Structure 1
């Protein structure tokens, strides 16, 4: 999402209605936490995965 789109209320509403969590993802809270998880020992057993951080939007397609 671009900053311009975040401030366009009509477009943001349309995008939020397509996301089950009903909010836009954030770099620090969502992407950053996934990056920390993947860099930690907690993800040591994961191999060859694609992890979608999209609030569940991919599941609906």
Structure 2
């Protein structure tokens, strides 16, 4: 549960940053936005453990 809270906090922080960037420049800076979205995806993978369970199944067989 603690990891999930941490992941949600990071996710909210990154989303706020993306929104601020969009409002500030009125244009999305593609590289920064893609980087932030990749970080969001990695956080979901690490903390929600969907992919890790899948990888464990692969390596155990």
Larger Rg belongs to: 2
TM-score relative to the length of structure 2: 0.30
Q: Identify the structure with the greater helix proportion.
A: 2
TM-score relative to the length of structure 1: 0.30
